[in-house]
């Protein structure tokens, strides 16, 4: 199956939210019917950890002292610093996509690659996985069908599945505060290991577009890729009550 047709995609436009709200909303949309595409940011800066990820190399005390929140994702993958980025989440029925997780990654990542091309970038999306990196930093490792520019990772994604639904969410790196990254992971300040493996839109473009501009390009590409019509989605009272319940599941002791 090389193409997927989706009649309608519910769009949730960009908002900055606290970490527990962001994760709760992704999970809540999994419980609904239909396909959803949302874009969001994080306030305050947050370090999210994959469901099975070990984080012994993360300086938790530094994070606490500097107001960096911690949260566990339902998805796998490694740790991601959510600071200067545009996060996307695509939630849909697994039956619409190939059974292979890798193939579904490819189909969902393709419109993001197309969008980056509209921004005059040349993203690469490869099937082969590279050798595993031992650190907990997601962006130091490129997995199958993740996006790179000039062999440097620029988009990292992960999936989680439940019954007949799945969510793929990921980070599109707009910029990077390397000094902060190095303090969190205990990397020497003069090391260039991150800069050699990771890039951002700001690094690659002469002018960084507004988030709303990037979002609109990506929405258009998702609609075109899946032959879908657009529908704006707004949370109702029942949705908001459920979100408050789900947020409690994402409480992290080190944040207090």
Cα Rg, the chain, nearest whole Å = 17
Query: Based on the number of CB atoms within 10 Å of its own CB, is 124 exposed (0-12), middle (13-18) or buried (19 or more)?
Result: middle
> Catalytic pick from 138, 173, 174, 218?
138
* DSSP H or E run through 107: helix 101-118
C-alpha to C-alpha distance for 80 and 64, rounded to whole angstroms: 16
Please provide the size of the chain in residues. 256
Which contacts of 58-61 are long-range, i.e. CB under 8 A and separated by 24 or more positions?
Answer: 58/136, 58/184, 58/185, 59/183, 59/184, 59/185, 59/186, 60/254
Contact 25/42 with Cβ under 8 angstroms?
no
* Token reading at 136: 């907990």
- 138 classed as catalytic: yes
Q: Give me the phi and psi of 8, to 5 degrees please.
A: -150, 140
Q: Active-site positions?
A: 138
């Amino acid at each position: 199956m090389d193409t997927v047709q989706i009649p309608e995609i519910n769009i949730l436009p960009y908002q900055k939210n606290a970490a527990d709200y962001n994760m709760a909303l992704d999970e809540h949309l999994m419980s609904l019917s239909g396909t959803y595409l949302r874009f969001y940011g994080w306030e305050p800066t947050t370090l999210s950890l994959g469901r099975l990820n070990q984080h012994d190399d993360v300086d938790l005390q530094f994070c606490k002292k500097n107001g960096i929140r911690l949260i566990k994702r339902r998805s796998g993958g490694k740790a991601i610093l959510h600071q200067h980025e545009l996060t996307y989440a695509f939630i849909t029925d697994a039956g619409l996509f190939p059974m292979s997780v890798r193939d579904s990654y490819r189909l969902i990542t393709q419109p993001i690659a197309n969008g980056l091309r509209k921004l005059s970038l040349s993203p690469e999306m490869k099937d082969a996985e590279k050798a595993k990196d031992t650190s907990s930093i997601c962006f130091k490792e490129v997995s199958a069908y993740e996006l790179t520019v000039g062999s440097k990772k620029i988009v990292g994604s992960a999936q989680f599945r439940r019954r007949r639904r799945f969510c793929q969410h990921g980070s599109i790196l707009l910029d990077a505060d390397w000094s902060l990254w190095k303090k969190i992971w205990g990397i020497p300040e003069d090391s260039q290991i991150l800069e050699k493996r990771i890039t951002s839109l700001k690094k690659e473009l002469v002018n960084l577009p507004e988030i709303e501009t990037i979002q609109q390009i990506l929405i258009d590409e998702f609609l075109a890729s899946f032959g879908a019509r657009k529908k704006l989605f707004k949370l109702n009272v029942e949705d908001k009550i459920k979100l408050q319940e789900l947020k409690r599941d994402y409480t992290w002791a080190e944040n207090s």
